[in-house]
């Protein structure tokens, strides 16, 4: 697993989403001085090698948890699939706090992951998805970066992670699992175009602390960078 480290100070670990890489967080990291930003590329994404046999989200969470257990407890910040992984890690090993950015809560949040379920050829399926994202990126700025990241993603790894992500999102159990975490936790949603209304209802139903930043979509930290940095900065400062 390729890992970058930027800055000096308490550690913030950033976990990227499905098909992405750690570079998606670079605009945020540049505006949060005073921390050591640890930026892994998960196996099969970004600078990391493509595994010959993708292992799925539970095994990836095991790897991250073992890696984090070797250091002082850090704040773990995850976007989309990375938010789900942050939760899985916090269930396995002590962390100082969690920030879950647009992590899946219900089946309605599986916009890209659900498309991978029916692929009979992962390479062809991912190529078609890249083409779709490229076309949509003409009018949606955040998708331009997503298209670039998808060019480095393992097709079989993407499909395996997507399948796990849909399965985890399909029984409405993610919100109560977030609520049960012992570490301080903040969920950040893009409103109105991020997680679906059902997911926001589930967060409220299970008393999960969350804020909505608007107007924003799934890449809330790109759509509303300054507001996002202010919210995350205040939360992580209180964690130490």
pLDDT digits (tens, 9 = 90+) for 86-116: 999 999 999 999 999 999 999 999 999 999 9
Centroid of chain to Cα 217 = 14
Structural domains for the chain: 2-237 (3.40.50.1820)
Q: Which residues contact 177 (CB under 8 A, 6 or more apart)?
A: 87, 91
CA–CA separation, 200 and 192 (whole Å): 11
With CA atoms as reference, report the closest residue to 4 among 28, 21, 18, 27.
21
- State the pairing for strand pair 97-101/75-79: parallel
Q: How confident is the model over 35-85, as pLDDT tens digits?
A: 999 999 999 999 999 988 888 999 999 999 999 998 888 999 999 999 999
Predicted confidence band at 164 (pLDDT cuts at 50, 70, 90)? very high
Q: In Å, how far from its chain's centre is CA 42?
A: 11
The C-alpha atoms of residue 37 and residue 11 are separated, in whole angstroms, by 6
Single pTM value for the model: 0.96
């Amino acid at each position: 697993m390729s890992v970058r480290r930027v800055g000096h100070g308490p550690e913030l670990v950033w976990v990227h989403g499905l098909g992405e890489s750690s570079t998606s967080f670079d605009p945020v990291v540049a505006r949060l001085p005073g921390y050591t930003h640890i930026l892994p590329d998960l196996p099969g994404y970004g600078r990391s090698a493509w595994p010959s046999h993708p292992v799925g989200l539970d095994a990836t969470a095991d790897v991250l948890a073992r890696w984090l257990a070797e250091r002082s407890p850090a704040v773990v910040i995850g976007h989309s699939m990375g938010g789900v992984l942050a939760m899985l890690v916090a269930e396995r090993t002590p962390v100082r706090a969690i920030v879950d950015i647009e992590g899946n809560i219900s089946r309605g949040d599986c916009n890209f992951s659900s498309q991978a379920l029916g692929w009979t050829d992962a390479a062809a399926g991912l190529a078609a998805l890249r083409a779709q994202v490229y076309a949509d990126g003409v009018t949606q700025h955040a998708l331009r970066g997503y298209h670039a990241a998808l060019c480095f993603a393992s097709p079989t790894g993407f499909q395996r992670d997507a399948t796990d992500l849909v399965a985890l999102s399909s029984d409405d159990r993610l919100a109560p699992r977030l609520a049960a975490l012992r570490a301080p936790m903040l969920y950040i949603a893009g409103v109105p175009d991020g997680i679906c209304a059902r997911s926001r209802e589930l967060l409220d139903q299970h008393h999960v602390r969350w804020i909505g930043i608007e107007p924003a979509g799934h890449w809330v930290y790109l759509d509303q960078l300054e507001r996002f940095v202010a919210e995350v900065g205040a939360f992580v400062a209180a964690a130490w």
